[in-house]
Amino acid sequence: MGYKKITNFVKDLFQEEKVPLAVPVFVGNEKKYLDDCIDTTFVSSVGAYVDRFEKDVAEYTKCSHAVVTASGTTALHMSLILARVEQDDEVLTQALTFIATCNALSYIGAHPVFIDVDKDTMGLSPFAVREWCAKNGVIKDEQLFNKKTGRRVKAVVPMHTFGHPIHLDEMVEVCKEYHLQLVEDAAESIGSLYKGKHTGTFGVVGALSFNGNKTITTGGGGMMLFQDEKLAEFGKHLTTQAKVPHRWEFKHDHIGYNYRMPNINAALGCAQLEHIEEYVASKRKTANEYEQFFKNVPDITFFTEPENCRSNYWLNVVLLKDKVAQQNFLQYTNDNGVMTRPIWELMNRLPMFENCETDGLKNTEWFADRVVNIPSSVRI
């Protein structure tokens, strides 16, 4: 089958001549809530929408507490601080991710160790993590150390790639066994469930992103999901300049951060969240139509959600036969009105991380040569 049939299918599906990859939709109370911010002058770092958005997201994800941040990246940075990752610690993560995951580690002075992903999830493999720990780790005083470098291995940061949950039960298990803190990069997976439970709620902290291209958006913003009230409170404290509450005094008891989300962004978020289940349903319907269509396309496979999961299908994925086919497909679709993208350049191939340890990354490299993201906006 020629690629023209594919681009025609995508254009018909989205009923557009030029189809973008992922754009937001605003069909609810967005304008009303924004007007309310302006009318009341509460546009900045305090306001009722901030509190409400935190409550609404906590309720939606069924975590005990949620704390908003200025972005997904700042949510990740703060999550790692709260998981007590320190300078010169090592953190096990995937090379197949968006740069923000590794940037957040670097802000702390921690070192990523890149471990392979699973073929059925595209996310960090708990089986590969276990293998690496068994081979390279040594436990002393309930802490894991890398035998080669002597550094402490403090945490594991899996990312739920394009909304597909990783094998979370197994990851929780291996983290317990090796005394590792689990911090989930759930930036792409709001609305995605693993065995009925929301991604980002399995570890000590989970980070969400509400950037403009994500499933719901606040313009820019993020959220941390907690199970522990004390830790959530401390997170809120650190993200708001660590100011000691007082009616007029300015006293601070830690190095704090201005990682707040302004009220106008939270207002957008409240309105978006009211429709999230419709958005996820729409994305899943699109995924299903792609799946049926690509069944009849030779040499291209549509990537489907892992077993026992409900994926939000944030960005749909097709797998091409090899690197040459991938490049040809990217060229044709982008030349013909259908926006498509390859996967991010692998982290271990970037100059900042090229000397980091890896476990060989067999599946990771297999995906890098084949993945193409195809249009995935909500259709309402």
Ligand X SMILES: *Cc1c(COP(=O)(O)O)cnc(C)c1O
Could you write out the DSSP letters of every residue in 95-142? Answer: SSS-THHHHHHHHHT-EEEEEPBPTTTSSB-HHHHHHHHHHHEEEETT
d(C-alpha 191, C-alpha 310), whole Å: 8
CB of 142 to ligand X, least distance (A): 29
Question: 145: which strand partners?
Answer: 138, 152
Helices and strands (H, E) in the chain, number of each type: 12, 16
Name which position in 24, 47, 72, 269 contacts ligand X (CB under 6 A): 72
> Does 100 sit near ligand X (CB under 6 A)?
yes
Name which position in 54, 118, 185, 305 contacts ligand X (CB under 6 A): 185
CB of 227 to ligand X, least distance (A): 21
Name which position in 73, 199, 312, 373 contacts ligand X (CB under 6 A): 73
> Does 312 sit near ligand X (CB under 6 A)?
no
Neighbours of 284 (CB within 10 A): 17
Which part of the chain contacts ligand X (CB under 6 A), choosing from 125-133, 183-191, 233-241, 350-358? 183-191
> Does 359 sit near ligand X (CB under 6 A)?
no
Secondary structure letter of residue 305 according to DSSP: P
> Does 188 sit near ligand X (CB under 6 A)?
yes
Name which position in 33, 49, 98, 329 contacts ligand X (CB under 6 A): 98
CB of 161 to ligand X, least distance (A): 8
Name which position in 61, 97, 181, 358 contacts ligand X (CB under 6 A): 97
Query: Collapsing DSSP states into helix, strand and coil, what is residue 85?
Result: coil
Query: Collapsing DSSP states into helix, strand and coil, what is residue 219?
Result: coil
d(C-alpha 172, C-alpha 184), whole Å: 11
Which part of the chain contacts ligand X (CB under 6 A), choosing from 37-45, 180-188, 236-244, 359-367? 180-188
Give CB contacts under 8 A, 24+ apart, made by 49-56. 49/263, 49/264, 49/266, 49/267, 49/269, 49/270, 50/260, 50/261, 50/262, 50/263, 50/266, 52/266, 52/270, 53/218, 53/223, 53/261, 53/266, 53/269, 53/270, 53/273, 54/223, 56/270, 56/273
Which part of the chain contacts ligand X (CB under 6 A), choosing from 12-20, 69-77, 137-145, 165-173? 69-77
Which of 322/345 has CB closer to ligand X? 345
Which part of the chain contacts ligand X (CB under 6 A), choosing from 66-74, 242-250, 257-265, 354-362? 66-74
CB of 185 to ligand X, least distance (A): 5
End-to-end CA distance of the chain: 30
Among the listed residues 85, 217, 107, the one whose alpha carbon sits nearest the alpha carbon of residue 157: 85
Name which position in 211, 272, 312, 363 contacts ligand X (CB under 6 A): 211
Name which position in 155, 171, 187, 232 contacts ligand X (CB under 6 A): 187
> Does 165 sit near ligand X (CB under 6 A)?
no
Cβ contact 101:128 at 8 Å: no
Which of 219/337 has CB closer to ligand X? 219
Burial class (CB in 10 A: 0-12, 13-18, 19+), 61: buried
Which part of the chain contacts ligand X (CB under 6 A), choosing from 67-75, 144-152, 223-231, 370-378? 67-75
> Does 367 sit near ligand X (CB under 6 A)?
no
Which of 133/223 has CB closer to ligand X? 223
Tell me, what amino acid is at 159?
M
Site residues for ligand X, window 125-164 (CB under 6 A)? 159
Binding-site size, ligand X (CB under 6 A): 15
Place of tokens 């709260």: 82
CB of 39 to ligand X, least distance (A): 28
> Does 71 sit near ligand X (CB under 6 A)?
yes
Binding residues for ligand X (CB under 6 A): 71-73, 76, 97-98, 100-101, 159, 185, 187-188, 209, 211, 222
